[in-house]
Structure 1
Amino acid sequence: MVDFLMKFNPITQAFIATLFTWGMTALGAALVFMTKTLNQRLLDSMLGFAGGVMIAASYWSLLAPAITMSEGNPIGNWFPAAFGFLLGGVFLWGIDKILPHLHPNSSIAGAEGYLPKRRKRSTLLVLAITLHNIPEGLAVGIAFGALANGGTEASLAGALTLALGIGIQNFPEGVAVSMPLRGEGMSRRKSFFYGQFSGMVEPIAAVIGAVAVSFIEPLLPYALSFAAGAMIFVVAEEVIPSSQEKGNKDLASMSLMFGFTLMMILDVALG
């Protein structure tokens, strides 16, 4: 796979990689063709697992490289990582306040954002998953965009590892949208469409991120940290609470630990 992608420029590589992550979202959404309902404990464990993957990816694939790239910074090698991380969280917090959305496992009364009750439940669920697919797409795009500034096969393997981890945790995200809609009586085809639709934003965000850092090298550590901060905000504000709302706190927490461990192993072993 590494040899195949080396034939393309980093922007194209990012696009191809996020087609995979989008495909994993669609694969999760496709469960609606096999069953109408999904065990709540299983769904909560999948959400917890996704959160663990995102937390591990935020450090090993994004923050740690940003700190390494910042050696020699006159303020301190910690500054780009700290500033970008906080900026990413503030950015997602702002979008969270504006964009109408509904977290998985929440009733329509729990919708958030500007004028959320004017929209259907299906739309609000899709917008919620789309909200945290944006930083995921940016993270993959930025990782591949870094290759334009002297990347090697090893750094390409790291970017691929990040895309693999994001793809793995996108599977339960597709499930988290399509299965509740199917359970409420929506047709299988429409439930699948809404479930996979939320992943469409990742290739777009990836291309934007790759283009930005490909042409502005000093931006790279800030961009990596920005994506990490945005992902951590999503995990803390949405993924973890959603995984524990139905009372399966221990199961969701252990699943998070497993997801974190798996992503750590992938990143250290392959990246």
Structure 2
Amino acid sequence: MDEIIAYFETLDPVMAAFLATLFTWGLTALGASFVFFFKTMNRALFDGMLGFTGGVMVAASFWSLLAPGIEMSKGEGFEKVVPAVVGFGLGALFIFGMDKVLPHLHVNFRMADKEGVKTPWHKSVLLTLAITLHNIPEGLAIGVLFGGAAMGLEGASIGGAVALAVGIGLQNFPEGFAVATPLRGQGMSRWKSWNYGQLSAIVEPVAAVLGAWAVMTFEPILPYALCFAAGAMIFVVVEEVIPESQQDRYTDIATLGFIGGFMVMMTLDVGLS
């Protein structure tokens, strides 16, 4: 792992963010590829994976984003926490707005429960858009961290950015399968099911490049940008991931998955930062 961090330290931060999110996209595609071998997934395992995803996102929001954002903010007392409060709130409001506009359907929900503006789009598109929506803050977070670390700002490190990419990649793996499996179960071909599954994460490299470029161009926004990504991810976990994992009788397994995901992400961030 030290060699990987050293390699990323030699790269342009925008390229580093792009490569890191190609990795997270690749794990999504790998997870979706299991649809070539399995038509369904055990529901207990499925809910546990959803819980794991939520745990990773919550831990990343604090350890990788909020804490560094507060640490690098200027001032003392209430003044120091202002960028975190503003950025966190704006991030949540951004996803709230997207949630109301973008047509999508959460995993494990019925077509009658689709959200956003009314549309005749097929369930496959709506499922893909739901996962795409919560991949935006994940890619943004990775890009912002790489940009901040490259500028030598306190609280941001290449190790932390790599840890975040690894953690998000781990939870993207079951996400790809989570999108592809129900599509395959509805009779869609293996190839099309895989394609929709991997497509949900293609937005991450785009968001990462934009995030890295933005903080390097407008350095003062970094604390706000970190906390913006955190607010967006927390909104996604509370509004989407947790409800999805609680739709069946395996709520305890989903909760244990959440705890496991939190522990893994916390360990990665502290260990690699």
TM-score (norm 2): 0.96
Amino acid at match of 2:14: I
- How many residues align? The count is 269
Aligned to 2:184: 182
The one of 8, 21, 24 equivalent to 2:27 is 24
- 1:223 maps to what in 2? 225
- Residue-by-residue CA offset, 1:147-175 (whole Å, 9 max, x unaligned): 232269x8111110000001001011101
Q: List gaps (5 residues or longer) in structure 1.
A: none
Q: Deviations over 1:127-184 (max 9, x none)?
A: 00000000000000001010232269x8111110000001001011101100000011
Residue 3 of structure 1: how far off its partner (Å): 2.1
| Structure 2, gaps ≥5 residues long | none
Offset, 1:247: 2.4
Q: Which residue of 2 aligns with 1:72?
A: 75
Counterpart of 2:195 in structure 1 is 193
Deviates most, 88-97 or 72-81: 72-81
> Could you list the runs of 4 or more consecutive aligned residues of structure 1 that deviate by over 3 angstroms after TM superposition?
none
Cα separation, 2, equivalents of 1:100 and 1:151 = 38
Offset from partner CA, 1:200-240 (integer Å, 9 cap, x none): 00000000000000111110000000000000000000000
| Alpha-carbon distance in 2 for matches of 1:261, 1:74 | 29
1:38 correspondence with 2:41: yes
Following superposition, the deviation at residue 74 of structure 1 comes to 8.8
- The answer on whether the counterparts of 2:47 and 2:250 sit within 8 Å (CA) in structure 1 is yes
Q: Which whole-Å CA distance do the structure 2 matches of 1:64 and 1:193 have between them?
A: 36
Alpha-carbon distance in 2 for matches of 1:45, 1:185? 25
Report the equivalent of 1:149. Answer: 151
Q: What is the TM-score when the length of structure 1 is the normalising length?
A: 0.97
- In the alignment, which of 84, 88, 99 is matched to residue 96 of structure 1? 99
- Higher mean alpha-carbon deviation, 178-187 vs 243-252, is at 243-252
Contact 2:72 2:153 in 1 (8 A): no
**Closer, same or farther in 2 for the Cα pair 1:259/1:74, shift >3 Å?**
closer
Q: One-letter code of the match for 1:64?
A: A
Kindly provide the amino acid, as one letter, of the partner of residue 122 in structure 2. K
Cα distance in 2 for partners of 1:229, 1:162 equals 16
Matched, 1:62 2:68: no
Pairwise mapping of residues 193-212 of structure 1 onto structure 2 (< 5 A)?
Answer: 193-212=195-214
Structure 2 partner of 1:83: 86
Shift of 1:269: 1.3
Alignment of 1:127-142 (within 5 A): 127-142=129-144
Residue 269 (structure 1) aligned with residue 241 (structure 2): no
CA distance in 2 between counterparts of 1:175 and 1:43 reads 9
TM-aligned CA distance change 1:17 to 1:242, over 3 Å: same
Alpha-carbon distance, 1:37 to partner: 0.7
Give the aligned residue type for 1:39.
N
Q: Secondary structure at the match of 2:109?
A: coil
SS in 2 for 1:199: coil
Give the counterpart of 2:14 among 11, 20, 23.
Answer: 11
State the shift of 1:7 in Å: 2.3
Q: Is 1:159–2:152 an aligned residue pair?
A: no
Letter in 2 for 1:102: L
Q: Counterpart of 2:142 in 1: which secondary structure? A: helix
Code of the aligned partner of 2:43:
Q
Determine if contact 2:150/2:158 at 8 Å carries over to the other structure.
Answer: no
Identity of aligned residues (%): 59
Q: Root-mean-square deviation (CA), in Å?
A: 1.3
